Structure 1
């Protein structure tokens, strides 16, 4: 059993998957920056990826905007799984990526969620009824799901009436935590955070219609630090394959 690489000293949560076998001479380690909404899917994918390829995946989770800053400041990431398509495109234009590697690995779904059964109706009317003190969203400047939430509120004409009730998390993970812990009665989260195998994992939710916000296209790209890493290329190929696709869809994403 080979040792797991040291975790990154970054403000993101780190998930490391140890290799099952040290007998594969071609096995490599890939350092991946992963948008917080994709935490559960990549953890599931990582297990199959390692078993099937022998490579080790080390993932850090956080807000897309924060990852952009870290990458520009020299963070040792080799692959970036963003929560949008604009940030990888920007990195492409700034020559921070391996050209031609970028693709959309998932299309996200926004949900209004509460851990309370029956609290959120399937039309989102609870937002207009106003019988809540706090509404959690992710920082729209750093997290694409937060931006989608503000676009939804604007489209519904609720920006002004919800302004003083909003509690803002720095990432979609923190926005979810605010609701889960009761610091907000309800909040806009990624459907993947509360959905598995076609069902809600608990509570009540309104799946926000896609026409209420811009599409949440999530792009993956190999960064310059990963251009010579076989594990980086293998991961990108694996994300396009049938096993990863099935897992991604099971969490409520589109492809």
Structure 2
């Protein structure tokens, strides 16, 4: 069930019509969500006049920055663990956590036909496989789960090149430093089918991506409005366009 929260006594439509100086919202966003976030930001600005300054990175790294005092007003994670932890540890506002997207991990290669990705991985006829750091990047953890499910962890480990986040993992693949790798569907949603193997959902734990209003943004109506925009029909349509599920 999709969780929502409402700004008490003030509808999003009203926020969009009240004449006020434009605000800039500081948002920490998981790297896999870069493309949709940028489109969401532009659309939100067109509707409200307020802008969103994004800081993209691995979820774990962003949370560390938040816990160390980074003035992020909203946090869009790639998991459902850290937004809840933010509330628990006093960095997030209780009652504002919701799932904005459910992500999908894929095996991507611009040069190898990965229509049957499992067979490609089992053949082990590649030099390097890119994976985001599983300690800080949920999509990297999902990629390692896929290898484990296929019984390939021990076989493939020596060939893995680890990206700081999912964006760097994609860079490794596109630069040729790795022939293939695990990335988010949203990053390659427009690529030919032969270049993208959509990993069966049962091969990795669901990637529920939660958002939370931080204590730094608690007093900013624009930050609250942006999170509400993500939950509205227009925001949800943009998110779905990039291959995510919305709850």
Same fold (TM over 0.5): yes
Counterparts of 1:84-99 in structure 2, within 5 Å, are: 84-99=79-94
Q: In 1, Cα distance between the equivalents of 2:181 and 2:153? A: 14
Q: In 2, Cα distance between the equivalents of 1:233 and 1:225? A: 11
Q: Are the equivalent residues in 2 in contact too, given 1:115–1:202 (CA < 8 A)?
A: no
TM-superposed deviation, 1:202: 7.9
Q: Is 2:229 aligned against 1:238?
A: yes
Q: Partner residue of 2:15?
A: none
TM-superposed deviation, 1:26: 4.6
* CA distances 1:94-132 after superposition (whole Å, capped 9, x unpaired): 12111100100000000000012x521234310001110
Counterparts of 1:7-26 in structure 2, within 5 Å, are: 24-26=19-21
Q: Partner residue of 2:28?
A: 33
TM-superposed deviation, 1:47: 1.0
Could you say what secondary structure the match of 2:71 adopts?
Answer: coil
2:146 to 148, 152, 172: 152
Q: In 2, Cα distance between the equivalents of 1:34 and 1:123? A: 29
Q: Tell me, which stretches of 5 or more residues in structure 1 are unaligned?
A: 1-22
Q: In 1, Cα distance between the equivalents of 2:20 and 2:83? A: 32
Q: Is 2:103 aligned against 1:134?
A: no
Q: In 2, Cα distance between the equivalents of 1:40 and 1:208? A: 21
* CA distances 1:197-234 after superposition (whole Å, capped 9, x unpaired): xxx26860110111111100000100000000011100
1:107 to 102, 105, 130: 102
Q: In 1, Cα distance between the equivalents of 2:72 and 2:165? A: 19
Q: Is 2:213 aligned against 1:218?
A: no
The answer to which of 51-60 and 132-141 deviates more is 51-60
Q: Partner residue of 2:44?
A: 49
* CA distances 1:122-151 after superposition (whole Å, capped 9, x unpaired): 343100011100000000000000000111
Q: Are the equivalent residues in 1 in contact too, given 2:73–2:213 (CA < 8 A)?
A: yes
TM-score w.r.t. length of structure 1: 0.87
TM-score w.r.t. length of structure 2: 0.90
Could you say what secondary structure the match of 1:124 adopts?
Answer: helix
Q: In 2, Cα distance between the equivalents of 1:164 and 1:77? A: 37
Q: Are the equivalent residues in 1 in contact too, given 2:115–2:194 (CA < 8 A)?
A: no
Could you say what secondary structure the match of 1:140 adopts?
Answer: coil
Q: Partner residue of 1:180?
A: 174
Q: Are the equivalent residues in 1 in contact too, given 2:118–2:150 (CA < 8 A)?
A: no
Q: Are the equivalent residues in 2 in contact too, given 1:28–1:230 (CA < 8 A)?
A: no
Q: Which has the higher contact order (CA 8 A, sep 6+)?
A: 2
Q: Tell me, which stretches of 5 or more residues in structure 2 are unaligned?
A: 1-17
Q: Partner residue of 2:159?
A: 165
Q: Are the equivalent residues in 2 in contact too, given 1:122–1:207 (CA < 8 A)?
A: no
Q: Partner residue of 1:16?
A: none
1:69 to 54, 64, 68: 64
